Amino acid sequence: MADKSFFIDTTKCTACRGCQIACKQWNKNPGTKTLQQGNHQNPADLSASTFKLVRFNEVEVPGGEPQWFFFPDQCRHCMSPPCKEVADEKAKGAIIHDEKTGAVIFNPKVKIKPGDFKEVREACPYDIPRISGAGIMAKCTMCFDRINEGMLPACVKTCPTGAMNFGDRKEILEKANKRLEEVKGTYKDAMLANTDDVRVIFLIVDDPKKYHKFAVADNTIGITRKMALKRLFQPLTSLRHMIG
């Protein structure tokens, strides 16, 4: 199986949340108790029961119509997953990096201590890892069981508009770059987020912070925050890869 990747085209996302629900259905994750808190985003955050979450963020445009950003958040399945780097030291075997697909998998059979988990979570530039009450880490599995059978991930399969895409990395990159070219005329700030570093490539067309605090990684990706401090004076590779 070839190296896999997602392309998430936010210009096509209508926030129908089909992906969020399909993810729960396939992974047999429960619906959690939520309340309406003045926000259509629900549940409020990712959790050990929510691997995929459509984030809603409304931005005022003085004198004009508001902007409403939708961000179908999930694990980016990094090329060099920093979470694994930490976990390998703290809880061996808790995180597996599948060589064939590139999927980063949290092993449900390996428990992790809360303090160690905190480090794993902090290592993630996208703030993805979550932990269950039983000490098991959880997040998007790339629908590993589905893709090994030649099926699309549940979120991609259910997406009606073409916002969610999945396939061989080479083709996904081509698709992402082609779409970027298409939308550049309409959106001057269009960019692909961290293309070289992740297997889940978001196309966003405005300031990333308007979508989500952790939409795009800053240049610490690939290393933990502690390691970043150590390397502070070393030359940095520009990892915030922006095209356009």
Binding site for another protein (CB under 8 A): 12, 14-18, 20-21, 24-25, 30-43, 56-61, 65-68, 70, 160-162
218, 208 contact by CB (below 8 A): no
Closest CB to another protein among 49 and 107? Answer: 49
CB of 33: closest distance to another protein in angstroms?
A: 8
CB of 202: closest distance to another protein in angstroms?
A: 16
91, 113 contact by CB (below 8 A): yes
CB of 180: closest distance to another protein in angstroms?
A: 14
Task: Report the distance separating Cα 139 and Cα 78, nearest Å.
Answer: 13
Report strand pairing: 4-9 vs 200-204. Answer: parallel
CB of 54: closest distance to another protein in angstroms?
A: 9
Task: Report the distance separating Cα 182 and Cα 205, nearest Å.
Answer: 12
CB of 42: closest distance to another protein in angstroms?
A: 5
Closest CB to another protein among 160 and 244? Answer: 160
Helix runs in 61-204, H state only = 82-90, 114-123, 144-147, 154-158, 169-184
Q: How far apart are the first and last CA of the chain?
A: 31
Closest CB to another protein among 117 and 214? Answer: 214
Closest CB to another protein among 10 and 220? Answer: 10
Closest CB to another protein among 141 and 220? Answer: 141
- 186 Cβ contact list (under 8 Å, min separation 6): 205
CB of 14: closest distance to another protein in angstroms?
A: 4
CB of 124: closest distance to another protein in angstroms?
A: 23
Report strand pairing: 67-73 vs 137-138. Answer: unpaired
Helix runs in the chain, H state only = 18-26, 82-90, 114-123, 144-147, 154-158, 169-184, 208-211, 225-230
Closest CB to another protein among 37 and 238? Answer: 37
C-alpha distances out from residue 21 to 54, 98, 111, Å? 10, 25, 27
Closest CB to another protein among 161 and 237? Answer: 161
Tokens 């961000």 found at: 71
